Amino acid sequence: MTRIDTSVDVLLRVNGSARRLRVDTRVTLLDALRDELDLTGTKKGCDQGACGACTVLLDGKRVLSCLTPTAQCDGRDVTTIEGLAPDGRLHPVQEAFIRHDGFQCGYCTTGQIVSAVALLQEGRAGSDEEIREFMSGNLCRCGAYPNIVAAIRDVAGRGTE
Ligand code: FES
Ligand code: FES
């Protein structure tokens, strides 16, 4: 039986660096990041689009990398949690999560932080209600929600209210 090669060549710009990959068309961006590029900061929770643990930025917009085929990312910019602190200095959102204790086990945290960075860029941090609404795709089994909201509110410049 002839096996059909379903691999494709993909050129990604990941955290500012060009990365060339040859992947099967079924490989998700999440698996490519973790297994091919060794960027394991992006977490696999549900692997079916329900938890937000795998959130990354694609051309500056947040996406669920477990639902994003790598082949569709050819020529595009990907930012992962590692890309938020490229020179070892934490991003203001990362600092705020530490300051406000915005995590417990930490499994959801990288997705929460990447999502929060995008939410702030989208101008969706006008109220706690808005933050909760636009962070609703990022689940936290530890229930760190109040502290996550506090961290985002802080970075948005709305103090501790
Ligand atoms: S791992 Fe992607 S949404 Fe849960
Ligand atoms: S900190 Fe444990 S799942 Fe969110």
Whole-number pLDDT of residue 144: 98
Q: Which atom of ligand 1 is nearest to the CA of 46?
A: 4
Ligand 2 centroid from CA 142, angstroms: 4
Confidence of residue 16 (pLDDT cuts 50, 70, 90): very high
Q: How many whole angstroms separate alpha carbon 80 and alpha carbon 114?
A: 7
Report if pTM > 0.85.
yes
CA atoms within 13 A on the CB side of 54: 21
Whole-number pLDDT of residue 159: 64
Q: In which element (H, E) is residue 110 found?
A: helix 109-121
Cβ(44) to ligand 1 under 6 A? yes
Closest CA to 147 of 100, 98, 91: 100
Average pLDDT in the 56-76 region?
A: 98
